[in-house]
A and B are shown apart, each in its own frame.
Chain A
């Protein structure tokens, strides 16, 4: 907690449950996501990112906080808006941008694309592009953890729009009855694609207001405050690891860009974006770090280091070859090939 003295603001770190090392990691992860996503956007404009792409600009705190709170062995299940959550587990910017640019250096060598980022070695068990599909899948991963007694937690990220599809409700009930170690994280950015979520949802808080239906606690957290999300994540993980079952967390946030590359987001009321940008998670967090006595120069050097890394990744991707023809027919089946007949 910060106390004002006559001279300056000084930090009383003894009272802080998060600590400087974790805070700097939270800051750095948010910066990596911000700069990588901004670069992805710039690369669209140069027609170097192909297909579609869904950015998390403005929503970085949630992925960064969960990624920091997770431990090795915990498993992430992401959506098509999953670059942020993938990067938050330590997957390299180059392999993510490479996949967006559909090059051979991409995370899946161009076979998946932006909407399906997966890195099993980092515990990123996939990004799912069919709304709601991965909530039951995360339940299954949690079932394995429970069955084998690993203590690992499955973390499932999704948007507000997902709360209105059947799989959301099936998965919550499933997780609750079997007390599965799964944490459902709703990123409520106020819009399901192009439509305001409140216009199409019976309750004010699309996730939290449904929690009671499954015997779960109602949790709403400021998704633009990495510390708040981090603390909430830790509590949910402790509950899951103790065998006390799932949590459903609604994080309030806002995406600065449109739904996808095709969307200029003209449906948003005037001034809304500007109001949310006042509460930009990275801006909020820089102020937070300063209030804890961390020098501006420390943040600036992180910003610069991340910028150099994103630049280097971009150049590596631009130089990378396109995927070769021979991978077209690999990994359809577990024998490595695609044979369906003899």
Chain B
């Protein structure tokens, strides 16, 4: 067991898979010599050399297109899009090419690739370098969408993504890169499509993803300590496939459902989960599901302003406390 940062876990996960399989290659902007702008890929160039770890020009379409062409022909590319906001400049590949190639060709074309991308707010970078865009990808049939919250999950889910035969969009949260956590020694391979109950509780289910997971856990501490409310915190981890069994199982025990989402309100991932829960577990619930999200606005740059709009532990506590009427 070693304590690793989330950013070091990224490099460890990539290295684990590159050491295992020569078909895994890795490229993106500033990822090789510079070790990534978030320093999440330091050491990979030295370990695996310039044929397998490559710096690219600022050409997001070429990065994702080349990843797809390599994936179709037998390699297992990992491509980095530096900020997830930049998926918008290569959206054709994410929305039209990766996810539809297998279906349109009646199963002839495969697309086993991973796009890693820095997602989320907290760095005070403003509206075009801070978004949480996992919900953009969630709505496209054919993609898999993962967003880990801890260093151990980064390694295990990244390994699972690389080994997965489908295109996986892997959202790393920029504000988690410095967070430390225990990571078991040896090879770690997790399972896509599995949510994880991080804290059991009987009074409400709280779903969270990525940076919202530690905030939900902090809120749970306060709710228990100050209000006697025991919430069950579920790290959703994977939006596609979506582990509804774990989520509905939790709701069946707690009878209340809350989501904590960093994405702006409309069509956030919680909206889909809530709609499923309402259809399938309506009579299990003692009150309406409640979504705690960033409001439907572009993100401001100023720290004072950004802090006002992202869900905080205090807001989570207050929303749950009021909803439960205690």
When the two chains form their complex, are residues A139 and B66 in contact, meaning their CB atoms are under 8 A apart? yes
Tell me which of A107, A140, A178, A339 has the highest count of chain B C-beta atoms within 10 A of its own C-beta: A140
A149 CB to nearest chain B CB (Å):
11
Q: How far does the alpha carbon of A331 sit from the alpha carbon of B197 in the complex, in Å?
A: 31
When the two chains form their complex, are residues A108 and B106 in contact, meaning their CB atoms are under 8 A apart? yes
When the two chains form their complex, are residues B66 and A342 in contact, meaning their CB atoms are under 8 A apart? no
Chain B residues within 8 Å of A112, by CB? 104-106
Binding-face segment, B53-61, B150-158, B227-235, B257-265: B53-61
Q: How far does the alpha carbon of A333 sit from the alpha carbon of B192 in the complex, in Å?
A: 13
Chain B residues within 8 Å of A331, by CB? 102-103, 106-107
B140 CB to nearest chain A CB (Å):
10
What is the 8 Å Cβ interface bit string for chain B, positions 90-104, against chain A (1 contact, 0 not)? 001100110001111
When the two chains form their complex, are residues A170 and B59 in contact, meaning their CB atoms are under 8 A apart? yes
Query: Is residue B109 contacting chain A, with contact meaning CB distance below 8 A?
Result: yes
Could you count the A-B residue pairs with CB atoms below 8 Å apart for me: how many are there? 162
When the two chains form their complex, are residues A174 and B66 in contact, meaning their CB atoms are under 8 A apart? yes
* Known pairs A137-B66, A140-B69, A167-B62; A147 contacts B241 (CB<8 A): no
* Known pairs A133-B96, A141-B69, A141-B72; A166 contacts B106 (CB<8 A): no
Query: Is residue A70 contacting chain B, with contact meaning CB distance below 8 A?
Result: no
Q: Which of B220-240 contact A (CB under 8 A)?
A: 240
Chain B residues within 8 Å of A126, by CB? 72, 101, 105, 109
Chain B residues within 8 Å of A241, by CB? none
Q: Which residue of B lies closest to A166 (CB)?
A: B61
Q: How far does the alpha carbon of A167 sit from the alpha carbon of B54 in the complex, in Å?
A: 19
Chain B residues within 8 Å of A137, by CB? 65-66, 68-69, 72, 97
Query: Is residue A33 contacting chain B, with contact meaning CB distance below 8 A?
Result: no
When the two chains form their complex, are residues B69 and A174 in contact, meaning their CB atoms are under 8 A apart? no
Q: Which of A116, A173, A334 contacts B110 (CB 8 A)?
A: A334
When the two chains form their complex, are residues B92 and A75 in contact, meaning their CB atoms are under 8 A apart? no
When the two chains form their complex, are residues A340 and B75 in contact, meaning their CB atoms are under 8 A apart? no
Q: Which residue of A lies closest to B93 (CB)?
A: A133
Tell me which of B64, B77, B104 has the highest count of chain A C-beta atoms within 10 A of its own C-beta: B104
When the two chains form their complex, are residues B97 and A133 in contact, meaning their CB atoms are under 8 A apart? yes
Q: How far does the alpha carbon of A144 sit from the alpha carbon of B237 in the complex, in Å?
A: 32
Q: Which residue of B lies closest to A177 (CB)?
A: B57
Q: Which residue of B lies closest to A331 (CB)?
A: B107
Chain A residues within 8 Å of B74, by CB? 144, 148
How many A residues face the partner with a CB closer than 8 A? 54
When the two chains form their complex, are residues A167 and B66 in contact, meaning their CB atoms are under 8 A apart? no
Tell me which of B69, B103, B105 has the highest count of chain A C-beta atoms within 10 A of its own C-beta: B69
When the two chains form their complex, are residues A147 and B65 in contact, meaning their CB atoms are under 8 A apart? no
* Dominant SS among interface residues on chain B: mixed
Binding-face segment, B123-131, B171-179, B242-250: B242-250
Q: Which of B66, B105, B107 contacts A116 (CB 8 A)?
A: B105
When the two chains form their complex, are residues A118 and B62 in contact, meaning their CB atoms are under 8 A apart? no
Query: Is residue B67 contacting chain A, with contact meaning CB distance below 8 A?
Result: yes
* Known pairs A118-B104, A133-B97, A340-B241; A174 contacts B109 (CB<8 A): no
When the two chains form their complex, are residues B106 and A135 in contact, meaning their CB atoms are under 8 A apart? no
When the two chains form their complex, are residues A118 and B109 in contact, meaning their CB atoms are under 8 A apart? yes
B6 CB to nearest chain A CB (Å):
27
* Known pairs A116-B104, A173-B62; A341 contacts B241 (CB<8 A): yes
Chain A residues within 8 Å of B313, by CB? none
Tell me which of A147, A173, A178, A335 has the highest count of chain B C-beta atoms within 10 A of its own C-beta: A147
Query: Is residue B169 contacting chain A, with contact meaning CB distance below 8 A?
Result: no
Q: Which residue of B lies closest to A328 (CB)?
A: B103
* Known pairs A118-B104, A167-B62; A140 contacts B68 (CB<8 A): yes
When the two chains form their complex, are residues B96 and A108 in contact, meaning their CB atoms are under 8 A apart? no
Q: Which of A108, A138, A173, A332 contacts B69 (CB 8 A)?
A: A138
When the two chains form their complex, are residues B142 and A119 in contact, meaning their CB atoms are under 8 A apart? no
* Known pairs A140-B70, A339-B241; A173 contacts B103 (CB<8 A): no
A74 CB to nearest chain B CB (Å):
12
Chain B residues within 8 Å of A170, by CB? 57, 59, 61-62, 65
Query: Is residue A109 contacting chain B, with contact meaning CB distance below 8 A?
Result: yes
Q: Which residue of A lies closest to B79 (CB)?
A: A140
When the two chains form their complex, are residues A333 and B106 in contact, meaning their CB atoms are under 8 A apart? no
Chain A residues within 8 Å of B47, by CB? none
Q: How far does the alpha carbon of A166 sit from the alpha carbon of B38 in the complex, in Å?
A: 27
Q: How far does the alpha carbon of A138 sit from the alpha carbon of B67 in the complex, in Å?
A: 10
4 interchain residue pairs of minimum CB distance: A140-B69, A136-B65, A334-B165, A140-B66
5 pairs, A vs B, C-beta closer than 8 Å:
A120-B105, A141-B70, A144-B73, A170-B65, A341-B242
